[in-house]
Chains A and B, each alone.
Chain A
Amino acid sequence: MLDAVFFWAFALVVVAGALGTVTFRNPVHCAAALTASLIGVAGIFLLEGAEFLSVAQVIVYVGGIMVLFLFVIMLVNVGRAEQEHRFSHNAKLATAVSLGAGGFILYLLFSRPLQFAPINQAPSIVQGNTEQIGNALFTTYLLPFEIASVLLLAALIGSVVLARKRAEA
């Protein structure tokens, strides 16, 4: 019973935050809403037993990405947000399409029972989540791990190159 309460609470936070992100006029407000949404998602992870992931979500996403977003908003948007329309000219159509897509997915979801057989047996030995992730990451998924690090390196260099100041001619 308790898990239902937590679930619905966190779900509310996530959805409300998401709606706020796409609706608010001021980009800073959007960023705040997004932050709330992300924290809600972290809660969902926790409910599902993905502890490591939920903490990583908070640290990386909220602590890193959102700060970055706020920095950039300060750089490019100062003073201008209130005057313009926030939605593009074909927003109505786009919303309709999206809602239609959503309805479609939900319908699929609820029209038939979810019939997936478990891939594995339930684990006989119960390990801690972090341990479990760590094991998998450094054995089976070692290569993607290394590649991800290279990806992050590339993104690092790329963003520095793209955003730096040009030398005066």
Chain B
Amino acid sequence: MWLIPLFPLAGAAFSLVARPGKRIVAIVAPGAILLAFLWSVAAVYQLAALPSRTKELPLGMWLPNIGAAWGLYLDPLSAIMILTVTGIAFLVHVYSVGYMKDDDGFVRYFGYLNLFVFFMLLLVLASNYGLLFAGWEGVGLASYLLIGFDFARKGAAGAGMKAFVVNRAGDAGLLMGLLLLWSLAGTMRFADAHAAIARLGPGAGVVTAIAILFFVGAAGKSAQFPLHVWLPDAMEGPAPVSALIHAATMVTAGVYLLARAHLLFDLSPHAANIIAAVGAFTAIFAATIALVQTDIKRILAYSTVSQLGYMFLALGTGAWWVAVFHLFTHAFFKALLFLGAGSVIHALHGEQDVRKMGALKRQMPVTHWTMFVGAVALSGIPGLAGFFSKDAILAQAFHSGATLLYLTGLLTAGLTAFYMWRLMHLTFYGETHVENGPVHEAPPAMAVPLVILALGSSLAGWIGVPKGWNTPAIFRSFEMWLNPDAGAAVPAARTEWILTGLTVAVALIGISIARYFYGHKGGVPHTFLQLVRPLQGVLEEEWYVDRIYNAVFVHAFSRGGGRLLNRLDTQVIDRGVNAVSSATRLAGSISSWWDEWVIDGAVRAFAYSVKLLSYPVRLLQTGQLQTYALVLVMGVVAFLSFLAFAR
């Protein structure tokens, strides 16, 4: 089992360190993921055979004090995750071989992509919160590297940083939650920690606190309001990156975390309510913005935010397996949509504005039909994947009694259908406004994954059929798999049918309106536009969220901080330097005074004293011969007298 994350790690190391040629990497990188996928399938198969359906694999101690070990843990939840991650990742890798064929950073790209898969697998396979957090940070890093892949572009580099910083804000909350959990339980290991929490019982304040802090982290990673701002900008990265990371896997890490720790929310209704409310709000908030976006990827980005809101709504209303189910189906069709969008962009040589597309149906049939499937799935049309999962969420919301949230979700479904078909119409149908011709269909490397994902989108839903439908057990295997102990309460069939009908009706209404606005020659009706003009402005500015953040955080910190540092520099540091220089000058002047007066003075005094003493002596030098002679004679006489008398 431990091989599963190892394959992509090896692939990443190989690509980044050894820097091989393009052709080799094109084989090795997807190959590593394929191997991981196959191993995952094998592992899950084996897991199913185990009676407890859990398997923990400790691999050694990492941080003993915290209880974080190198250990892997496989249970139904993580099984779903690894299958989804490796499967979608493999398809994205194959697609990327075609998409990134002409890029100079080909090798680096696949290195980063493999690295990401490694961290994601580490995250979902961790046996304790410590290792999970390590994987959590790692995917954040990989996301930064991949968003800012084309780092020469200012937009891309900035978007990468924004993603990382906003993520960090969320991570701060998560870290606090983890520390709180550790202080409570003394360990990070899932089983032990959960047991400790269970002992506290429902309604404990600390449980609520941990739950909310976990949610803050999840909100950062999964782009919930108000930490959603990085996801639309993350579209600066290549389309396959958006497909893998920002649709199918990384953004779902938050959902996984909360699913893993669902005990917290079972025990804390307050936290659960907050999550559900934020999720629902985010869903409709993002959907409204998606209505007016003109960049094809940004539409899909906001759509992702919206669908993630759905998942959190589900988590908040107590049905974590429903959230995971939606995660599973969403992975398929959102990845499909992103890869399809990538195909369109690739065909139009980099054009991403939907207003400059149109009538591509004829020229790109494969792309069109696969995206068609994806759009239908997203809209929640019966028969395809999205329908089952979305319907389940709404049903859950309704049944848990949060009517307002239910209505919000319902309305959002309608908006979802609308903006999705707006995209379809503007891109594939109607008149062409293409400026970047000629248009060509996607190459096989890109087309084949599209088809596979389309199939998945269609069929994946059928394993999560609602209980009320009285279908054979196999169609409900997802829920059974995850949550065998779910309550046996089966809601009334009639309620189910009404709810389902409402969902479908809303979706169809959305599609029709979109068709009316964009499918006809006349375009959007004038009166309608007049009516919504003020609203349209607000939506286009994304509810001014980015503007507010920019002003509050960016400008304030950078300018204010800059000014503060400037003042620090001039007042404190320069003053210090000047003081030192003044002191040095002072020392210099003292030293020179000493030298001049004391030392030179001594020398001068000495010379002067010599001169003083020599004055009398020099008078002896008269230059007169006879004076000298006289002195000489006197000396001789003295000597002789000494000899004669004194001896």
B626 near A: Cβ within 8 Å? yes
A60 near B: Cβ within 8 Å? no
> Do B630 and A97 touch (CB < 8 A)?
yes
> Do A93 and B641 touch (CB < 8 A)?
no
Partner of B637, one of A88, A93, A104: A104
Q: How far is the CA of A90 from the CA of B630 in the complex (A)?
A: 9
B640 near A: Cβ within 8 Å? yes
> Do B626 and A94 touch (CB < 8 A)?
yes
**Distance between A90 CB and nearest chain B CB, rounded to angstroms:** 7
> Do B626 and A90 touch (CB < 8 A)?
yes
A108 near B: Cβ within 8 Å? yes
Residue interface mask B607-643, A partner, CB < 8 A = 1: 0000000000000000010110010011011001100
Residues of chain B contacted by A108 (CB below 8 angstroms): 644
Partner of A100, one of B624, B630, B637: B637
> Do B634 and A97 touch (CB < 8 A)?
yes
Residues of chain A contacted by B630 (CB below 8 angstroms): 90, 93-94, 97
Q: How far is the CA of A102 from the CA of B626 in the complex (A)?
A: 19
A46 near B: Cβ within 8 Å? no
> Do A101 and B626 touch (CB < 8 A)?
no
Q: How far is the CA of A101 from the CA of B637 in the complex (A)?
A: 6
Q: How far is the CA of A108 from the CA of B626 in the complex (A)?
A: 27
Number of residues of chain B lying within 8 A (CB) of chain A: 11
Asked, given contacts A97-B633, A97-B634, A98-B633, whether A104 binds B627 with beta carbons under 8 Å apart, the answer is: no
Residues of chain A contacted by B644 (CB below 8 angstroms): 104, 108
Asked, given contacts A104-B640, A104-B641, A108-B644, whether A88 binds B626 with beta carbons under 8 Å apart, the answer is: yes
Q: How far is the CA of A98 from the CA of B630 in the complex (A)?
A: 9
Residues of chain B contacted by A104 (CB below 8 angstroms): 637, 640-641, 644
Q: How far is the CA of A100 from the CA of B640 in the complex (A)?
A: 12
Interface hits, A40-98 → B, CB 8 Å: 88, 90, 93-94, 97-98
Residues of chain B contacted by A90 (CB below 8 angstroms): 626-627, 630
**Distance between B160 CB and nearest chain A CB, rounded to angstroms:** 100
> Do A101 and B633 touch (CB < 8 A)?
yes
**Distance between B550 CB and nearest chain A CB, rounded to angstroms:** 102
Residues of chain B contacted by A94 (CB below 8 angstroms): 626, 630, 633
Residues of chain A contacted by B637 (CB below 8 angstroms): 97, 100-101, 104
Q: How far is the CA of A94 from the CA of B637 in the complex (A)?
A: 12
Residues of chain A contacted by B636 (CB below 8 angstroms): 101
**Distance between A84 CB and nearest chain B CB, rounded to angstroms:** 15
**Distance between A51 CB and nearest chain B CB, rounded to angstroms:** 33
Q: Closest chain B residue to A87 by CB distance?
A: B626
CB pairs A–B below 8 angstroms (5 shown): A90-B630, A93-B630, A101-B636, A101-B637, A104-B637
* Pairs of residues from A and B, 4 with the lowest C-beta to C-beta distance, nearest first: A101-B637, A88-B626, A94-B630, A97-B634
